[in-house]
Amino acid sequence: MKRFPKIKIKKIDFKYILNYFFVIVLTSFILVAILISLPLTERVSSQVTYDLKTKSELYWAKDYTLQLDIWDRVDKEKILDRTTSTLYRRLSRYGVEKIDMYTFTQDKMEYINIHVQSSMPQEYVDELIRSPFIIKIVVRNPDIDFEDPENPYAVYLAENYLDTEFTRDSFRNIYITKLKNSANEYSYFALFKTWPWESQWKVFLEDYQGQEVGVSVDGFVTPVQIPTTKPIVFALPISTEKKEEAKLISLLYNTDSIPEPYTLIDEQQVPIENVEGDYIKILEGVLLATIVIYAYLFLIDKTSKKILILSALSTIITISLWVSYLKIMSIPTDIFLLTIEILAMIAILRITTENSESKIVVNVLLALIASLVAILGTGFAKIFASDLFVLLMLGIISQQIAWFYTTKVRKILKI
Amino acid sequence: MNIAMHVWYNWSTFEKLQEGVLLLGILLITLLAIYFITKNRSILLLSFIGFSISALLNVIGLYIVSTLFKIEITEVFRLIPILTSILLVSNLGILVGFYIHRKGKKGFDIKDIRLEYFTDSVKQTIFLLLLSSSVFLFVSVQTQAILVVSTLSCLGAVWCVFWLSKKLLND
């Protein structure tokens, strides 16, 4: 019987196949990121919507004029400074991008003019400016009949109460949180917290146990029943169910205090200051600039080709991933800020790729600066620094991907 | 002068304090980090001079932008010192990186570090000038001003640091 000849199978190099497969997957991943990040590629398919959402459509600008009746006060400069400082803190903490203020005197009245440009909801910014949010803890005036059916609003008017020594400045923090109410449902409450070593507030609460006191906000009083149970928790009900509004109220409670009441006498929409360019043009420009610069560096031959490829690939991956992320997550973006971020990252990646010995030092120093500005900065600087921090991390990952990718491709192509 | 007057009279104490703390914080955190990494007072001094020159050039740049080019200085221009610091720190990082990499090695010569720093500063200068100028046509006037002032302030500081390094950096 004739035997079949043995078929000799060459030993399969699984590592090589796996590498090959991995390089294909990585190439597709990079290409997809590039395609998504390029302008107008969302028009290729009607199935997906990933156009870059620019802030230019969201911006609005307004001028507000506040009037203060403090002309004859000796400390009017101090009052004005504290008022503008508090308003600036409130607005910048809320995320208003552009705030400009100045004060002036006219007809024995002091005025503060506030110019605001923002992409944040206008009604909330209005509220931050409109309400001085002057807080006082008040007790019932014994001469006033709060049960009088002729005057049902007596309980809400600050003039019917007597002031106590407690104002906003007496509290360390006013914490807004959800607690169970009398209907056994969760709603927002403001918890007034003092420093542990301060005993006056504790004594006050003990003195008024079981009685009704009030919290006056700009002359409108919310009555609060002091519980008889211990420990005494002073919880003021907040009239909102919305998280965003609770955040806003927390901001009003916790950003210093306005010393004297003011009146908003005028608010007017004004044209926005447009620093944005056409994002398609800008992204094309950045792309063109990157290609031209790398082609130039390639031609002058002052840097090794390997480093140039690595640096260019890291840059492309970082920027593509970042723009793709912004597009997919529909994050409203300032185009001019995106341009500056991209340019800064191109410069940083070029330096860190070429100088491997300085890579850690540069990244650490830049991450420190970015964190500091993200914490202490305001407006555009804060947004820029927060984005830069993420971009730095993305840059480090992209450099590793680029290094891994070029090494594998070289191995496969045996270059 | 107008800018300084505007800031002094129209900014609230909180705003002035916040901006001051932020800029001083950037300077302090960078200088402290550089000193802890290198333990070299000359590099610390060079870095401090670099930051001071860039701050001065920022102010001159803003003055030129507002008076010569009649561009209104607004909130977006607060990005200039931050962008300048980022570009400058990436340059100073090269010097620090070279220094700590070579410091303990045999045949350590500060002249080699200065030479490498020079080569990389030239490359960074060309790269930054090309990058800023190539996107110049595509961006708004304010963005152009931010890029030009930041780039030139950084490059001015970089070359002052290099020039001073001949005198300050010794074995």
A contact test, residue of B140, B144, B147, B158 with most A CBs within 10 A? B140
Is B86 in contact with A286 (Cβ distance < 8 A)? no
CB contact set of A399 (below 8 Å; sequence gap of 6+): A310, A314, A349, A352, A353, A359
Using CA atoms in the order A83, A89, A91, A94, what is the torsion angle rounded to 10 degrees?
A: -150
Strand-pair partners of A213: A139, A224
Which two three-digit tokens encode residue B70?
């009649």
Cα distance between the two ends of chain A:
51
CB contact set of A79 (below 8 Å; sequence gap of 6+): A68, A70, A73, A259, A260
Residue in chain A nearest B83 by alpha carbon: A344
Q: Select the residue of A288, A358, A369 nearest B85 (Cβ to Cβ).
A: A369
- For residue A281, which residues of chain B lie inside 8 Å, CB to CB? 138
A262 CA to chain B: closest CA distance, Å? Answer: 17
B153 CA to chain A: closest CA distance, Å? Answer: 15
- For residue A379, which residues of chain B lie inside 8 Å, CB to CB? 75, 78
Domains and CATH numbers, chain A: 14-54+275-413 (1.20.1640), 59-269 (3.30.1360.200)
Separation CA B23–CA B44 (nearest Å): 17
- Summarised one tens digit per residue, pLDDT across range B120-144 is 899 889 888 988 888 887 888 888 8
CB contact set of A263 (below 8 Å; sequence gap of 6+): A66, A67
What ipTM was reported for this prediction? 0.92
Residue in chain B nearest A371 by alpha carbon: B26
Separation CA B23–CA A68 (nearest Å): 33
- For residue A101, which residues of chain B lie inside 8 Å, CB to CB? 10, 12
Q: Select the residue of B124, B135, B146 nearest A286 (Cβ to Cβ).
A: B135
Q: What is the pLDDT along chain A (415 residues), one digit of tens a residue?
A: 566 666 666 677 787 788 888 889 999 999 999 888 888 776 666 666 677 888 888 899 999 999 999 988 899 999 999 999 999 999 999 999 999 999 999 988 999 999 999 999 999 999 999 999 999 999 998 888 888 888 888 889 988 899 999 999 899 999 999 988 878 888 999 999 888 888 898 899 989 888 889 999 998 999 998 888 878 888 888 888 888 999 999 999 998 889 999 999 999 999 988 766 677 888 888 888 888 888 888 887 777 888 899 999 999 999 999 999 998 888 999 888 998 999 999 999 999 998 888 889 999 999 999 999 999 988 899 999 999 999 999 999 999 999 999 998 888 877 7
Over the Cα atoms of chain B, what is R_g? 18
pLDDT at A96: 92
Q: Output the DSSP codes for A324-359.
A: HHHHHTT--B-HHHHHHHHHHHHHHHHHHHH-GGGH
Separation CA A143–CA A110 (nearest Å): 36
Nearest-5° angle of CA B101, CA B102, CA B103? 100
Q: Please give the C-alpha separations between residue A171 and each of A168, A194, A239, in angstroms, as whole numbers.
A: 6, 5, 21
Is B74 in contact with A98 (Cβ distance < 8 A)? yes
* Residue B73, pLDDT above cutoff 60: yes
Is A348 in contact with B83 (Cβ distance < 8 A)? no
Residue in chain B nearest A385 by alpha carbon: B82
Which two three-digit tokens encode residue A181?
């109410």
For the stretch B81-119, what's the b/e string if a residue is b when 16 or more beta carbons lie within 10 angstroms of its beta carbon?
A: bbbbbbbbbbbbbbbbbbbbbbeeeeeeebeebbebbee
* Phi, psi angles (nearest 5°) of residue A264: -80, 110
Residue in chain B nearest A343 by alpha carbon: B131
Give this prediction's pTM: 0.86
